[in-house]
Structure formats: structure tokens, C-alpha cells
Amino acid sequence: MRYESDKQPSRFGPPGYAPRVIDQGSVWIMVAAPTLWALHFVASYVVAAVWCARIGPSLTEPRWIIAGMAVVCVALIVWLATQAVRRYGGVFVIFEEITESSERGRDKFIGHVSLLLCILSGVAIAFTVIPGFVFGSC
Amino acid sequence: MTQEIDLSKLPPPAPYDEARDKAQRSRLAKAWQGPPGWKIVSAVNNSFIGKWYLLTSFAFFVFAGILALMIRVQLAAPNNDLFGQQLYNQLFTLHGTAMMFLFAVPIFEAVAILVLPEILGARDLPFPRLSAFGYWCFLIGGVFVCGSILFGVAPDGGWFMYTPLSSNEEYSGLGADIWLLGLSFIEVSSIAAAVELIVGVLKCRPPGMRLNLMPLYCWYVLVVAGMILFAFPPLIAGDLLLEMERAFGWAFFDVDRGGDPLLWQHLFWIFGHPEVYIIFLPSIALIATMLPTFAGRPMVGHSWIVLSAIGVAFLSFGLWVHHMFTTGLPEISLGFFSAASEAVAVPTGIQIFCFIATMLVSKVRPSVPMLFAGGALAIFVFGGLTGVMVALVPFDWQAHDSYFVVAHLHYTLIGGMLFPLMAGVCYWYPFVTQKAMNARASRWAFWLMFGGFNLAFLPMHWTGIMGMPRRVWTYDLTDGWAVLNMVSTVGAFVFATGFAVLAINVLWPRGKAPFVARNLWNAGTMEWAAEVPGKPWGVRSIPYIHTRYPLWEQPGLVDGIDRGEWFLPDAAEGKRELIVTDILDARPLHVQRVGGPTFLTLGSAFCLGAVFILATYHLWALALAFGAGFVGFTLWWLWTGTSEIPERPHKDAGRGLTLPTYAQGNRSPGWWAVFITMTGDMTAFMGLVFSYFFYWTALPDFPPAASQLPAFGGLLAGLAALIAAWLMTVAARSLLGQGARRAAMALLVGSVPVAAAGLGGWAWAAWAVGLDPTSHSFDAMVWMLILWMGLHLIPNAIMQIYVAARIWADICNPEYRADLMNLTLFGHFLALTAIVIFALLAVFPLMMGAA
């Protein structure tokens, strides 16, 4: 570090150390699963809208495109869930009491919330797939 | 890896010394004292701004409530001609608009500005002057929009201003312009507050308050402020399109010219549905904060509530089309939104179950706030269930635009938002005023409001099912709605009486009444650590937090705070100071100096307000003059109040902790504020991108044949110049870091004409092929994207020159260069915008042409 003002207090970290969210890989996992839901949702909407506006009334193909995208997204979410469990120590508990004041405690909390969000996102993606199998045409 | 903050590593506090304590207190008081007398309007501290914000929002609530009573009087009897159709249209439009934009959203900001810093054990939010600016914008804009009804020119197109009714000047007069410009102005203040609150929660937590220890209220604030950032900008983009059509005839919503009125509905509801949750979540957050207090135990399923807040935040963006079920979209599209509307009930339900579980496992102390909270849950669950009903497409086709929907939305909003808010008012009243409310009157208020509400809105389910459409100004006796409407009107007045009782109770002067006991509810969150009677500094010293409910779980904490044993117990330099901590674990990073009282923000807000108001009347020259005034005041404010070079690079923050007094790059709150603001800006831009692709799906001749496309060469040259201008700024940043001040200044100033040339290249490319924004939606879209770039290059140019001047004045120098780093961040977003615009104007039409 070149300047005095770039340095961090030495007590709480090595000189020049600045905690960075992305480097520690710690917070992104919380929004990753719902983001996958959002991407899948928008993609499904776009596929259906463009298909119905430009191609035709039959929904057979878009139905499978949407289901295929759902499989990919759910697979990614499952991977995220394993990360939440293995790397962060996330657990599935109802009466959560992860109040330990430590980095590990914070990781476990993030892992736990991420795991819950993975489940919710998976369910929400399943909800998005259902209409394709109910409607045969636009 | 990082070291832990370890209590045992902190040296013990110095023994208590009364003289020292007194001296520190007087220095703190001097630094944080509000200005005397009438100069109080220049105050920026959160305790002042929060209170004003709250009272102003409630004033607009009362105003909109009076409009509602007028609506009910008009509908009380069949064939009533008391107000007439013209005024009636203005009444319901302004009622909805004021309730949503001037009460429901601002009240979230008001409460958060008032209590968030105290819950975080902080002395203020990171940008107090920005809060003040936002407040004054809100006040000016709100008075302008509401005042219009006194002159008979209030907006009358319904609170969602559907096109083509609102885009055609024959059908909608000045009211639509007042709505568009007035609300865009107020949205500025909402986004300012969102930025402030996000940075506040992320960077101003007390040392040690890790993410897993953060109070639920903070989670909700973070989530909701994030939602504002993604929900409001699309509406600003929509406002821009609609106002361009109204003022200059650009073709966006006119079907004859390749426009599409449905686009407005999309942009409006991409904002409008998340907005419902933007209103609901912060109010439910109040219940989540007070419930543990009265249950006497931590919230059951703390993390489940975090999950449900984040889950609702995401899912709520997938619901917007459920307001458009009857517009003829493909059924499969409706199916997606119906499914998402059902799915959002899952996380919403989870938090309600957490509340119920907390109440079940403990013995809840009866109290007025809990009475309101209980009423809120009952009403909200009812409204939520009718919500699941209207989320089903076939049912919605029957109930759409009927009083059933009116009943549903009032049950969700009043149950989900108003009652929790009233609970919050009763709960935090002693915190704000240090006096007690009259509990008996509050209970009367509750039962009048609860009874009156149900009497007013329950019958509307039946009037709706019986076929009464919303927004009709009168009806016939033979329609059979007369009795139910009369019952609703009586209920509305009972409800209003209840509110009046509560309002009198709140506003009753209690100058001589005794102070309440400190932490009278025996709560666990930090705001109740405040001394009674209150002190201007908020918290005497900023403690180290290692539990979720510090006042319960950290014995002796309050005494330590009072004796000044923790961080920043003094204001030796007479400056207002906060501790900025890191996002994950709240490790102390540096001491942030924040601005004190100033009239500059007031001047700035006044000029900006004048710009919007004058633009409504198309007084362009005057608007321009006030625009210059706005720029002048804002630059003055920034020059004198931000990124000051500290007198020493470090300072002693107490307990052996030495912290830097300056931060730059991604460690400074300013950098985060720019990042967050620009994220919102990108969302608005995405609204335009969405519009582009919306036209592409809907129109066969969008984009048109190759001969009508903007010239590729001009677009490419323009992009090259814009990228070059960006690279010059980036180079200036690294050159300044190496000490080359003159080169940095030259690059910064030099990049301004380069960027202007780039924009000129784009404009030429569109001009050369004769694109006319008033002739077709494609032409209008092309010019809109170029205009968007131009609208960003103007502030960019001002900031480039500003930073160059700061370098020249040696306020921004090789060692302290936060200004330039923030400017570069702005530049990154601008470069990204330029690339996307180029892709839309040059690359995408080519790809489509090739296909």
C-alpha cells in the first residue's frame, strides 16, 4: 500500500487488509438461488411471449424449453445448496439459534439462510413450470 | 485470514472520571446540537429529519384520508351529485396517488431514518445531508401534487395513469403532467433514502454486529431499500417516456405511430407490484421488532424471517402481470404470473407463522402496540387470502376492476401497513418523545379503527361481487348497491374517528408530563439504550455488540455506554463522527465525519423542485435557470461538505482502537452510495431496454428495414469516443495515484469534449437517416436511448470538471482521492450503458436483418 490512508487498523487485520465481500465468497450465495429463479422466470416469460407473438399457438416446444431450463436451474440450486451445507455449515433447523459471535457463526447463519432460499427458489421454479404443462396453446 | 475482534484484547476502560465525562458530554453536545430558533430548518440530524418526515407523511395521510371520506360521501347514496364526476375523478386519483407515493413509501423512510441509527447504536446515518435533501424534495413535491386539487387541475386518470387516457392531451390535461413530474421528483427522494439506508445498514453497524446478529428490522430495511432500487427506476423510465410523448409528441404509446399503450402498464406494474411489498415489509418489520419485546424472548425462527423477507423481495418482482390479467396476454404468460402470485404466499406465510410461534411459546404481555399488531395480522391474513383468490386468473376475470379488488387491496394495505404502523407509533412514541401516551385513548382508537375498517371494507367484497365497478362516481338505486355503500360510508367515518383519537393522543402537548422510565417496555434492541431525557448525540459511546438482543444479553452494557467506556466517547475536534464498519462482521474500518446543519441542501432541493414544477408548465427558460441554481447549490454543498482532508490521518477511537479518518475506493461509504445509485440508474435503463424489446415482440416492423436504421459508422465512431472518454477518466485515476496531478486534471477536462463528440456521432447517425421521434416508436426509441446517454453525460461533464477543480485546489490529491475514485465508478457504469445502447442501435438490428 502506497499511502497511509490506504491502510487498515493493524489491530483487526494484517496491515493493508481490507475485507472484501466477493473475495470471501460470503454473501453472494444468499441471493444466488433467488436470482436463478428470477432468471428462469424472465427467460420463461420471454420464450413464451416471443413464441406466442411470432411462431404459433402450439406450446409443445416452449413447454420443453422451459422445463429444460428449469432442470438446469434446479441443478445449479442443488449445487448451491451443497455449498451452503459444506462450505458454510448451513443446517436445516426450525428453531434457529445461530447467535455465536464469530466468523464461523456468521458463515453458518448465511449458509442456513441460503439453504432455505435454495429450497424456496426450487419450489418457485417448479411453480413456473406448471403452467406450461396445463396449457396446450397460447 | 482476518483476526477476530476479541473483547479480551481490548484494554479495559479507564476508570470513571466525572470531570472527564462532563467535558466529553459537553463537547459531544456542542457537535451534535441542533441549530437554534428558526434556523432549525437547516438541521440534518436523523432525529430532526426523521420526525419531520414522519409528521409530513402523516399530514399527507390525513389529506388523502379526507379525500377518501369525500369519496365515501359521494357514494353513500344512489344518484348522488354532490361532487360531480370531474371532481370525483380527481378525488380517487389523488387519494390513491397520495396514499401510495406520499404516505406509504415515505413513511417507511421516515421511520427508518428516525429509528435505524439508534437500533444500530450509531449517531446518525452516513449521509445526513442527503436525508435532509430527500426530505425537502418530498415536502415540495408532495405539496405541489396535493395542492393541484385546490385549483381543480389535479390528476384524474386513476393512480396508475393508464395510457392512452393519460398520453392523449385531449383526454387528460395538466393533471397528468403534475402527476408525472411531481412524482418523478418524489421518487428521487425515495431513491436517495434507499441509498442512505442501504449504506447505513451495511456500513454503519456497531462494531461486532455480524450479519447473524443483525436485528430483523435492519434486514427488512436492507431488503426493502434494495427493492426500491429495482422497482422505482422502471417507473421513472416510464414517466420519462410518457412525458416525452405528452410534451413533445414522441411516439411511444400511440398505436397509430407504432406505439403500444400496454407498455405503460408493464412499466407501471413492474414498479407497482413490488411497491406493495415495499410498503408491507417495513411495516411487518415493526411487528417483528416489537413482538420479541412483549413476548419477552427472542423471535422464533429469526433466520426464517430473513429468508421470507429476501424471498418475498425476489418473488414480488414476478407478479406484475397479475394486474394485467384482462389485457389479452397469452394465457401461458398469465399462468406464470398466477403461479408466482401463489408462490409469494409461501414466504409471506412463513413470517406470519414465525410471529404466531413466538407468541405461542411465550406469554405475551398485553399492551396497546400488541393490540394494533394483533389487529394487523387478522386484517392482513384476510386480505392475503382474497389475494390468493384474485391471483387465480378465472376468478380475477370476474372480479377485475370491481369493488372486490378495492376491498382486497385495502385489507392488505391497511392490515399489512397501516395497523402495524400504528402499533409502531404507540411502541416508539416514548422513544421519540420520552413521554407516555394515554393508553386508554389508544385502546379506544384501536377498536374504533378496527371496527370502522371492517365495517367500511368488508361490505365492498359483496358490492364488488354484485358488479359495482371501481371508480364509478355514482350508481342507480336499481343496481342494488345502496345499502352496502351506506354501511361502507358509516364505517369509513368510524375509522376516521378512531384515527383522529389516535392523532390527538400523539399530538397532545405533554410538556409537563413526567418522563417515562428508560427502556420502559424492557426491549432488547439498542434504540432503547438512549438516555432519558434525550441527548442530541444519540448514543454516548458506540458499544461493541456480540448478541442479537444486546440490552437483554449483554449485562452492564447501558452503564458502560453512559460512562463513555466504548468507542468515540468524545468529539475532540468538534466534528460529527461515526464508525464505519465492514459488511460481514462489522469490524471497525474508519471514522467517518458527517455534515452538520446547512441551508445548502434546502437550496438545492428548492431549486430542483422548481425545475420540476416549471417543467410542468413548459416554462423551459426558467426551469433551466433553476436547474443551474440546483447545480450551483449542490456543487457548493459537495465542495464544502464532502471528502474533506482530515487534520490527522488517524485518530484514537477509544479502548486502544486507532482508526483512519479518511477512506476511499470501496471502503468509503461514498463509493458504495455511488455504486448503489448507479445500480438504480441501470435499472431505469433496463426499463428502456425492456421497452425496446417489448416493441420488438409486439411490432412486425421493429426494427425497420436497413435504410431506416441509424448509420452504423456514426454509431461505431460515437461508441469509440465514449469509450475513449471513459478510458481517459480511468487513466486520470491511476495518474493521480502516481502523483501526476497536472496530467490527471488535463485528462479529466479533456474527456468532456471527447464524450460530447461521441454523443454527437450518435446523434448524427440518427439524424442522417432522418429518424423523427414523433413519427414512429422505433425512431422515438432510438432518440430516447441517445437522450438517455446525453442526460448522463451532462452530470458526468460537471463532475469531471468539479474533480479537476478539486485536484487543482489540492482537496483531491494523490493521497486523498476519494472524489476521483467515485467519479471513475460512475464512468464504469456510463461505459456499460454506452455499450448496451450501441448493441441495441447497431448490433441487434443487424442480427435481425440477417435473420
* Distance (Å, whole) CA B798 – CA B795: 5
How does pLDDT run across B396-439, given as a tens digit for each residue?
Answer: 999 999 999 999 999 999 999 999 999 999 999 999 999 999 99
Q: Is the pLDDT of residue A1 over 70?
A: no
Do B650 and B729 belong together in one domain? no
Q: Indicate the domain borders of chain A.
A: 29-134
Residues of A in contact with B548 (CB under 8 A): 99
* Mean pLDDT estimate for chain A: 81
Do B707 and B647 belong together in one domain? no
Do B562 and B655 belong together in one domain? yes
**Is the residue at B361 inside a domain?**
no
For the segment B747-772, the average pLDDT, to the nearest whole number, is: 96
Do B585 and B730 belong together in one domain? no
Do B576 and B696 belong together in one domain? no
How does pLDDT run across B209-232, given as a tens digit for each residue?
Answer: 999 999 999 999 999 999 999 999
Cα A84 off chain centre by: 10
For the segment B484-506, the average pLDDT, to the nearest whole number, is: 97
Q: Which domain holds residue B718?
A: 678-850
Give kind and range of the element (H or E) at residue B176: helix B174-203
For the segment B109-113, the average pLDDT, to the nearest whole number, is: 95
Residues of A in contact with B222 (CB under 8 A): none
Confidence of residue B701 (pLDDT cuts 50, 70, 90): confident
Q: Is the pLDDT of residue B1 over 80?
A: no
What is the nearest CA distance from B210 to chain A, expressed in angstroms?
6
Res B667: pLDDT: 85
Give kind and range of the element (H or E) at residue B723: helix B712-737
Of A44, A62, A113, the CB nearest to B303: A113
Q: Do B2 and A17 touch (CB under 8 A)?
A: yes
* Mean pLDDT estimate for chain B: 93
**Is the residue at B392 inside a domain?**
no
How does pLDDT run across B333-359, given as a tens digit for each residue?
Answer: 999 999 999 999 999 999 999 999 999
This prediction's pTM = 0.94
Do B647 and B705 belong together in one domain? no
Q: Is the pLDDT of residue B5 over 90?
A: no
Res B7: pLDDT: 60
Res B307: pLDDT: 93
Res B654: pLDDT: 87
- Cα distances (Å, whole numbers) of residue B367 to A100, B360, B374, B426: 32, 16, 10, 10
Residues of A in contact with B300 (CB under 8 A): 95
Res B3: pLDDT: 40
Length of chain A equals 138
* Distance (Å, whole) CA A138 – CA A57: 5
Q: Is the pLDDT of residue A27 over 90?
A: no
Q: Domain boundary at B600, B634, B660, which?
A: B660
Do B698 and B840 belong together in one domain? yes
Do B602 and B628 belong together in one domain? yes
How does pLDDT run across B272-325, given as a tens digit for each residue?
Answer: 999 999 999 999 999 999 999 999 999 999 999 999 999 999 999 999 999 999
Q: Do B547 and A101 touch (CB under 8 A)?
A: yes
* Distance (Å, whole) CA B398 – CA B469: 11
Query: Who's near B643: CB < 8 A, 6+ residues apart?
Result: B670, B806, B811, B812, B816, B818, B819
SS3 state of residue B594: strand
Residues of B in contact with A123 (CB under 8 A): 343, 346
- Phi then psi dihedrals of residue B599, to 5 deg: -90, -10
Of B9, B546, B589, the CB nearest to A8: B589
Residues of B in contact with A103 (CB under 8 A): 1-2, 4, 210, 584-585
User: Given the C-alpha cell 407515493, which residue does it identify?
Assistant: B101
How does pLDDT run across A44-73, given as a tens digit for each residue?
Answer: 999 998 898 888 888 888 999 999 999 999
Question: In CATH, what number is assigned to the domain containing residue B725?
Answer: 1.20.120.80
First to last CA, chain A: 61
Reading the block at residue B378, the C-alpha cell is 387478522
* DSSP-H helix ranges across B769-810: 777-808
How many Cα atoms occupy the beta-carbon half-sphere of B803 within 13 Å?
Answer: 32
Q: Is B35 exposed, middle or buried (0-12, 13-18, 19+ CB in 10 A)?
A: middle
Q: Do B314 and A35 touch (CB under 8 A)?
A: yes
How does pLDDT run across B133-163, given as a tens digit for each residue?
Answer: 999 999 999 999 999 999 999 999 999 999 9
How does pLDDT run across B71-104, given as a tens digit for each residue?
Answer: 999 999 999 999 999 999 999 999 999 999 999 9
Q: Is the dihedral of CA B266, B268, B274, B276 positive or negative?
A: negative
Q: Domain boundary at B605, B625, B660, which?
A: B660
How does pLDDT run across B505-537, given as a tens digit for each residue?
Answer: 999 999 899 999 999 999 999 999 999 888 888
| Cis, peptide link before residue B106, omega less than 30° from 0 | no
Do B624 and B743 belong together in one domain? no
> Which of B336, B593, B643 best tests the A interface by mutation, with the highest count of A CBs <10 A?
B336
Q: Do B343 and A6 touch (CB under 8 A)?
A: no
CA-nearest residue of chain B to A112? B303
Res A105: pLDDT: 87
Q: Do A20 and B814 touch (CB under 8 A)?
A: no
Q: Is the pLDDT of residue A9 over 60?
A: no
Do B726 and B800 belong together in one domain? yes
How does pLDDT run across B9-39, given as a tens digit for each residue?
Answer: 788 888 999 999 999 999 999 999 999 999 9
* Distance (Å, whole) CA B562 – CA B784: 57
What is the nearest CA distance from B151 to chain A, expressed in angstroms?
44
Q: Do A19 and B304 touch (CB under 8 A)?
A: no
Confidence of residue A26 (pLDDT cuts 50, 70, 90): low
Q: Could you tell me what percentage of chain A is helix, strand and coil, using 3-state DSSP and rounding each to the nearest 5?
A: 70, 0, 30
Above pLDDT 90, what percent of chain B?
A: 89
Q: Domain boundary at B602, B625, B660, which?
A: B660
Do B755 and B789 belong together in one domain? yes
Reading the block at residue A88, the C-alpha cell is 458454510
**Is the residue at B757 inside a domain?**
yes
* Distance (Å, whole) CA B310 – CA B227: 10
CA-nearest residue of chain A to B344? A124
Res A8: pLDDT: 39
Do B727 and B829 belong together in one domain? yes
What is the nearest CA distance from B648 to chain A, expressed in angstroms?
10
How does pLDDT run across B797-833, given as a tens digit for each residue?
Answer: 999 999 999 999 999 999 999 999 999 999 999 999 9
Res B702: pLDDT: 86
Q: For residues B759 and B705, which has the higher predicted lDDT (pLDDT)?
A: B759
Total CB pairs under 8 A between chain A and B: 181
How does pLDDT run across B675-687, given as a tens digit for each residue?
Answer: 999 999 999 999 9
Q: Do B649 and A44 touch (CB under 8 A)?
A: no
Res B656: pLDDT: 85
Give the count of domains, chain B.
2
Res B2: pLDDT: 38
CB B62 within 8 A of CB B237: no
Q: Pairing between strand B576-581 and B650-652?
A: unpaired
